[in-house]
Amino acid sequence: YKAIIFEGTGLGHIGKSMYEIVKKAKERGLFLGMTSQCIDGRVRLTVYESGRDLLELGVVPLSDMIPETALVKAMWALGNTKNIIEMKDLMLENIASEFSD
């Protein structure tokens, strides 16, 4: 794998039991993006401690991009670059109205 797109709860959280997996994925150089399972929600990892922990682990909040769109965009981004920093920039660039500004 080159990227993982998480579909978190509420503001974009996953169980702490998954943190070790996230840490190992980051060490392997994977892109880690967070979406929310809420239909009308936005990922805000700065609100709660668990979200701030995910930010420290290198998870990138993908605003209100829906999980399916994030997955397709990740595939597109990987087709354009293998560089994790460039991929992050591509994922956060609003190219086709995939998230609200």
pLDDT of residue 83: 96
Which domains are present in the chain? 3-92 (3.40.50.40)
**Predicted confidence (pLDDT) per residue in 34-74, tens digit:** 999 998 889 999 999 999 999 999 999 999 999 999 999 99
pLDDT of residue 40: 85
- The pTM of the full predicted model, rounded to 2 decimals, is 0.94
Output the DSSP codes for the chain: --EEEEEEBTTTB--GGGHHHHHHHHHTT-EEEEEES-TT----TTSSHHHHHHHHTTPEE-TT--HHHHHHHHHHHHHH---HHHHHHHHHS-SSS-S--
**Predicted confidence (pLDDT) per residue in 9-36, tens digit:** 999 999 999 999 999 999 999 999 999 9
pLDDT of residue 1: 87
